[in-house]
Structure 1
């Protein structure tokens, strides 16, 4: 199905209906590959709009939680089925709205469908345990209760997968939801919620309100009828959410930044390591919280690795993600584009050596988009800004070390601890890395960016609130344990 005509207006979704904001104001979504192309208009919502959505979710929560888990699961299976029929449309919308290539967008949409199916099955799995009581005539057990209304605040870089991996577990465990997507992914989010609508979810179970973070995001933090908030985004905003939720005494879940290292040892398969460094660091224009940012290479093989890496990077095709053969698309918007350029300048100023890239792309065909050359620095020290701060762009920092111990020390020398990987054929080095690396996700002979949907995902240090998303771990956030004691 083709993308809706340019300039289409997309409403909020509240109480099972598509309705415009009371503000009668809109936010324009443009294609970052061609800023002259309008993808659509979403609602610039107010607190009144948010309050309507929360009230709707509050009214729906009792009847929704009283359904059997299997019944809630059936609804998620229906959503997955609808999404399968609209997968191409959703993927095209994603590419046009936030810039990732169409193959990547199709892969993400397929992942969203798989997540729905996985959590649909959770409706038939156990929610508690029987625990022996000291009273021989009593039965003691645990069960789980939903939080109630959950506020979901999601970023633009995975506008299908992240909303679904938050919304699906929230629903299967009996919560109702108010979703606030990032503005650069809002049209895509509407397409996703249309699938929930077509699947026939009861009114009020899922609600979508688009708008600014300062109004709708802050409103979710402050709203008295929201019992939990799950957020993925920047550390700055995440800390505001955590502080606000703590002040209200409600549950919160934060997944934030990363400064993810890959370690390449002197016994690594260099071709594999180079390929994974490029895909992990530059796919989606480096706009992933798990993207490879620091490349820590042992001195014995440093020059060979660098030569192979730079050669392959120079051969990448940069352009509009809708064009066949495009490997990397644009930055998501002008602000991010300028942020990445500023980090590149900072790297030069602090003494790093620019190996390749580092400039906007001078191509007449791409002049209306936010396109940057993939960039590699070397002679980077751990104290440099480009080695410490999350750039969220196609920038790799090469760092030379003499030993694995030095590599792990440098890898851990940041405030973040989201993901990390190592390339080695030595079992002892693998074990040392697993033991000593301060990251929530460690991968061996694989890129830093990537985690399967059935396993827990989350970071250490400043990368998260130390909770975990996905897999069975999701129920730890979206439910509370209730202990039951029964005596006749």
Structure 2
């Protein structure tokens, strides 16, 4: 059959649509929202290409509207996890043997489906199931996921093209094999794009996958699975199961064919998974790949030379977009005393303009937090600040879960740079601010660097280039994604590969070739054209 070295389409970032009044995309999205709000979905698991249902049906409700039921998903147990593992292993051989360009074509088609006919549906599902406003859904579920799909295909071809030099008389080459066994994808609620990328990236590289989404993101995960099927992902390559985390972990992490985990979630869960893998290491056929992005206690530090309005806007956008439920969300801020009023005043003015409510009302910038557990944790932190001698609330501080899990965007001002909310990840719309003396900029950076166990994102605002360089160097290990004069959120695939170190994960940079390298096992092949016929080397000859 014909062969060739194929060039894939050059990846470009998907343009972000505005959803402004009277635009086509706004009308299409409102129609999709209306359709989904008027039907109760019956959501099965997908194992080996088959829809699997159980007697244990769990209802799904929008975080912003408890009274409404979006549908039901079928909760599985350990038998379904076994089925998914078996299906992944059964599909492995055919998928691995499929030519890479056909894998590429499947996921390029998925990208076009996401950006095209499924755009309104995936955005609407994300808005309803995860309480995101239209813009936050667009940059996540439509644009970022299309970017992951397209750029990963390009990175795959770059990896395959990376080949060694060959000396005269021989030919050296490297083939990039998928891992032996199956990969487990454990995905979060906060980004539909991440939920899609974690199973997709290993599958693109020839692996088969067992995928467990967050129970609070099943609604959009089902749409992603629909897209995978429509794009032509073969049966058993990606298997979607809904079961409790401990049940899935017990079955997956004890299986001898477990080859790796692609994870985004809490640090505690990731550490427990790592520990379990270590305890089971003698059971596995190979050393599993452990790839994880966990939490963050992301910072903004402003220098006395900063643009005060830019800092204020960076706090508001970086701290409160998607209710502060981004791994990268700004949650601790250090501002110089001499500029504090210039920063705080416009910050409060901007916050006063923000409206909170149902995301189907496009006038609402703030929506609900994901569930009651998150709501209760955030409310407790706010209540503690109200009675603390080291802190006071200067904005927000209200909350209400009577109709939905609404936490008002809140700013806590503390006199203690190691106050609880400067250290602990809350994952919500709560920002804690500390005012430092202007001449203690370097000392404050040292405090910042040592305060939190995390090192995901951070930002320096400075118009003084010496100060910007100093912060960039001084905080080199404090963040895997560092921003100069910008908020610490909004990493774009192909532009800012994302991930952090320390307690924030393995820093394998989602949206880059380095992440895809984790899902292959290279094999070096050396071919000698005219092999030696005698053991002796010239140095053995007599004078």
TM-score (norm 1): 0.94
1:360 equivalent in alignment to 2:391: no
Partner residue in 1 for 2:3: none
Q: Superposed, which structure 2 residues align to 1:16-415 within 5 Å?
A: 16-21=49-54, 24-83=55-114, 84-110=116-142, 111-127=144-160, 129-132=162-165, 136-147=168-179, 148-158=181-191, 160-246=192-278, 247-248=280-281, 249-350=287-388, 351-361=390-400, 367-401=402-436, 402=438, 403-412=440-449, 413-415=451-453
Instruction: Report the more deviating stretch, 259-268 or 123-132.
Output: 123-132
- Give the aligned CA root-mean-square deviation in angstroms: 1.8
Q: Residues of 2 paired with 1:345 and 1:254: CA distance?
A: 32
CA displacement 1:296-333 (0-9 Å, x = unmatched): 11111012211111121122101111112110101111
Say if 1:465 and 1:114 are closer, same or farther in 2 by CA, change over 3 A. closer
Alignment gaps of 5+ in structure 1: none
Give me the whole-angstrom Cα distance separating, in 2, the residues matched to 1:92 and 1:202. Answer: 26
Q: Match of 2:17? A: none
TM-score using structure 2 length: 0.85
Measure, in 2, the Cα distance between the counterparts of 1:217 and 1:106. Answer: 32
CA displacement at 1:123 relative to structure 2:
4.3
- State the 1:8 CA deviation: 1.8
Residue 94 of structure 1, CA deviation? 1.2
Q: Which moved more, 1:219-228 or 1:206-215?
A: 219-228
Contact in 2 for aligned 1:285/1:328 (Cα 8 Å): yes
| 1:109, distance to aligned residue in structure 2 (A) | 1.8
Note the C-alpha offset of 1:128.
Answer: 5.7
Q: Is the 8 A contact 2:151 2:511 kept in 1?
A: no
2:503 is matched with which residue: 462, 472, 482?
Answer: 462
Secondary structure at 2:175's aligned position in 1? strand
Distance of aligned partners of 1:349 and 1:224 in 2 relative to their CA distance in 1, 3 Å threshold: farther
Partner secondary structure for residue 66 of structure 2: strand
Between structure 1 and structure 2, the one with the greater Rg is 2
CA contact under 8 A between 1:70 and 1:123: conserved in structure 2?
no
Deviations along 1:266-317, one digit per CA (max 9) or x if unpaired, are 2212222211211110011111111000111111101221111112112210
Show the 5 A alignment for 1:424-435. 424-435=462-473
Cα separation, 2, equivalents of 1:381 and 1:487: 68
Runs (4+) of structure 1 moved beyond 6 Å?
none
Q: CA deviation at 1:334?
A: 0.9
1:445 pairs with 2:500: no
Mean CA deviation greater in 148-157 or 244-253:
244-253
Distance 2:156 2:292 in 1: 25
**Aligned residue pairs, count:** 480
